[in-house]
Amino acid sequence: MRALRRLRPYLRFLRPVRAHLVGAILFGLLYAAATGLGIPALTNYVFPRIFTDTADRMVWGDVLLVAAYIPFIFLVRAAAGYLNGVLIQFAGTRVLEGLRLDYFRKLQILPLSFVQSRQTGDLISRGLADTTQLQFVLTQLANDGIKQPGTLLFALAFLVHKAVQAEGIALMLVCLAVVPLVVFPVRYIGRKVTRRAQDLQSQLGAVTALFTENLSAAREVRAYGLEAHETSRFEALTRRLFSSQMKIAKYAQALSPVIEVIAALGIAGTLLYAYSAGVSKDDFLGVVTALFLAYEPIKKLGALNNELSRAVASLDRLEVVLLAPVAIADPAQPATIPGGRLRGGVRFDGVSFAYAPGQPVLHDVTVDVPPGTVCALVGPSGAGKSTFANLVPRFFEASQGAVRIDGIDVRELRLAELRGNIAVVSQDPVLFNDTIRNNLLLGRPDATEAEVVAAAKDAFAHDFIAAEPEGYATTVGERGGRLSGGQRQRLALARAFLRNAPILILDEATSALDSESEAAVQQALQKLMVGKTVFIIAHRFSTIRAASLILVFDEGRIAARGSHAELYASCALYRSLYDRQSGGA
């Protein structure tokens, strides 16, 4: 019952396919009637009238009619079972589609901190393996939840009818006395499966996570000779997964034999009572057939109970995402941006931020960056530079204080409008496995072909694009793997040119490039930064030459601010960082 209560909110996924579901239920009931009533009737009424030496023996014409009853019953049963299965499969596939879409949609709006705090492979496993398990159980519940109880009720109805007709209430009670005993193994095994299902799903997530990690680091695995190491890690995980699967199988497979033994005891008890009570052979055969058919649905419902236990474990894992609070969302009454375009003045007012409670990354940061300022963020690793920049497009939410653009708190702006006024070019730009044209259009989907080409030319990308056999229709591969680092970076810049946002965030956009590519990218950057508010997250001091304002970060605070000359003369930390790189150079 607990499992059913947990699954109840997710039955809404069946609403769009309710017509198919109703059809499946009707065919399921027809299947149940053909099985629970039709087959016992064969045993009790048809066979005895054919195989008898008395005057009741039928003539050939009647025998042909009665014999036709046998294929008719099984034809009805087969057709109803087939149509029930097809309709349920259709409904189940739609359920899976809706469930995965909800899961994926929720991942898109959860904060970056949520996604970054979890293994990618585990999130994939939840969206694939756990949704499949839940879909299977929902459709099985919709199917067997009608068909098997229906078969049981029809069989019991026949059983009650024959018991009352033949020997009264006593025979019926003897037949049904063992049925409650079946509940005990079902409940016991269900509890065992529940405790182990969560571990099984977690192990599946761990295996998927290792797969994802290994494939994303294919070059490093080969470069450092980690093939055997990775294989041994995978072997250890799959061995634990095997152990979890066998624990589930051990209990799940035990249910059917236990119920069959209990059913055999019930039939044996019925046989003894029927003999002592002098029940006729024909009546006894009908009763035993109905009794056997009553135990079969119980066995399948017991198996469904085990699957419900696994569904609860999958649901627990899915609800980590589905029920996660959306901490960063559009305001109820968003502020209006005049003309839809910001001027780009950014102000931090007493901003503090922590990824985890009690571990602040930024402390009471206050700074004003006027529109059109090129602002460089420098400091040791972990000083808070990237966090500072990520608060501007509201990738993270300030714990205290406010981030304002043109005097408007970013929390008062619609996310789409806020981020539509910001372009980000990172150190390792991400390109999707699509054409060059479509990757560029991510910057502005309504751009014309001429505007796309102009943006590519501004980013010094047009020449290498035109050299490709398919030009702008060239597919770049997963994460742009078919292109060089310099080509990927120039496409990212072209995307930023196309967006033409008033605020630009550059996360060390040239640090991983060779000298030739860096020269081209630097030239493109100079043009891209004109008239914009720019934040440069600088790990190399050669990239801050164009900065009119430099913010020096140290342990989450702005230790100093000013121009290069001012900071070199007055800030020991800045001078130390600068001299260390200059000396190394």
Question: pLDDT tens track of the chain, all 585 residues?
Answer: 555 677 677 777 778 888 888 888 888 888 777 776 776 666 666 666 666 655 555 566 666 766 677 777 788 888 888 888 888 878 877 877 888 888 889 888 888 878 877 888 888 888 888 888 777 777 777 667 777 777 777 777 776 776 666 554 455 555 556 666 666 676 667 667 766 776 777 787 788 888 777 777 777 777 767 788 888 888 888 888 888 878 777 776 676 677 667 767 766 776 676 666 666 666 666 666 666 666 677 767 777 777 777 777 788 888 888 888 888 888 889 998 888 889 999 999 999 998 877 788 999 999 999 999 999 999 888 888 989 999 999 998 898 999 999 999 999 999 989 998 999 888 778 888 889 999 999 888 888 999 999 999 888 889 889 998 889 999 988 878 888 888 888 888 889 888 889 999 988 766 555 666 667 777 777 788 888 899 998 777 767 766 889 999 998 999 999 988 889 899 999 898 888 876 544
Cα-flanking dihedrals φ and ψ of residue 336, to 5°?
-100, 135
Structure tokens at 431: 């390109």
Number of domains in the chain: 2
Dihedral, CA of residue 494, residue 497, residue 498 and residue 504, to nearest 10:
120
Mark whether 262 and 397 lie in a shared domain.
no
Mark whether 355 and 295 lie in a shared domain.
no
Mark whether 309 and 377 lie in a shared domain.
no
Residue 330 lies in a domain: no
Are residues 119 and 209 in contact, defined by beta-carbon separation less than 8 angstroms?
Answer: yes
Q: Of the candidates 348, 307, 88, which has an alpha carbon nearest to the alpha carbon of residue 194?
A: 307
In sequence order, the β-bridge partners of residue 506 are 425, 536
Residue 332 lies in a domain: no
CA distances to 196, 245, 480 from 237, in Å:
16, 12, 31
Rounded to 10 deg, the angle between the 183-216 and 281-322 helix axes is: 40
Instruction: Name the domain boundary from 322, 356, 384.
Output: 322
Helix (H) or strand (E) holding 504: strand 503-507
List all residues 6 or more positions away from 429 whose beta carbon is below 8 Å from its beta carbon: 480, 488, 489, 491, 492
Residue 347 lies in a domain: yes
Cα-flanking dihedrals φ and ψ of residue 331, to 5°?
-70, 160
Are residues 494 and 459 in contact, defined by beta-carbon separation less than 8 angstroms?
Answer: yes
Mark whether 360 and 298 lie in a shared domain.
no
Are residues 453 and 462 in contact, defined by beta-carbon separation less than 8 angstroms?
Answer: yes
Neighbours of 54 (CB within 10 A): 7
Task: State the burial class of residue 298 (Cβ atoms within 10 Å of its Cβ: 0-12, 13-18, 19+).
Answer: buried
Q: Mark out the alpha helices in 167-280 (DSSP H runs).
A: 169-176, 183-216, 218-223, 227-277
Residue 336 lies in a domain: no
- What are the start-end ranges of the E strands in 345-452? 346-356, 359-369, 374-378, 400-405, 408-409, 422-425
Predicted local confidence at residue 373, as pLDDT: 92
Looking at residue 180, what DSSP letter applies?
G
Helix (H) or strand (E) holding 506: strand 503-507
CA distances to 326, 352, 356, 536 from 113, in Å:
11, 16, 10, 22
Mark whether 221 and 167 lie in a shared domain.
yes
How many whole angstroms separate alpha carbon 362 and alpha carbon 353?
5
Mark whether 371 and 467 lie in a shared domain.
yes
Instruction: Name the domain boundary from 258, 287, 322.
Output: 322
CATH assignment of the domain containing 90: 1.20.1560.10
Predicted local confidence at residue 371, as pLDDT: 93
SS3 content of the chain, % helix, strand, coil (to 5): 70, 10, 20
Helix (H) or strand (E) holding 281: helix 281-322
Residue reference for tokens 């949520």: 114
CATH assignment of the domain containing 419: 3.40.50.300
Structure tokens at 493: 């810049």
Which range of residues forms the domain containing residue 434?
342-584
Cα-flanking dihedrals φ and ψ of residue 409, to 5°?
-60, 130
Cα-flanking dihedrals φ and ψ of residue 351, to 5°?
-85, 130
Predicted local confidence at residue 168, as pLDDT: 46
Instruction: Name the domain boundary from 275, 293, 322.
Output: 322
How many whole angstroms separate alpha carbon 309 and alpha carbon 176?
27
Q: Of the candidates 479, 465, 470, 473, which has an alpha carbon nearest to the alpha carbon of residue 432?
A: 479
| Centroid of chain to Cα 205 | 11
Mark whether 353 and 313 lie in a shared domain.
no
Mark whether 312 and 362 lie in a shared domain.
no
Predicted model pTM: 0.71
Q: Using DSSP, state whether 71 is helix, strand or coil.
A: helix
Q: How far apart are the first and last CA of the chain?
A: 70
Cα-flanking dihedrals φ and ψ of residue 142, to 5°?
-65, -30
Residue 575 lies in a domain: yes
Residue 129 lies in a domain: yes
Mark whether 86 and 117 lie in a shared domain.
yes
List strands edge to edge, sheet with 533-537. Answer: 422-425, 503-507, 533-537, 374-378, 549-554, 557-562
Structure tokens at 435: 């054409």
Mark whether 187 and 313 lie in a shared domain.
yes
Size (the chain), residues = 585
Predicted local confidence at residue 20, as pLDDT: 85
Residue 329 lies in a domain: no
Looking at residue 446, what DSSP letter applies?
T
Mark whether 76 and 143 lie in a shared domain.
yes
Mark whether 430 and 545 lie in a shared domain.
yes
CA 557, 559, 562, 567 dihedral sign is negative
Q: Using DSSP, state whether 354 is helix, strand or coil.
A: strand
Residue reference for tokens 């309710």: 18
Residue 334 lies in a domain: no
Q: Of the candidates 210, 205, 272, which has an alpha carbon nearest to the alpha carbon of residue 244?
A: 205
Residue reference for tokens 């909110």: 9
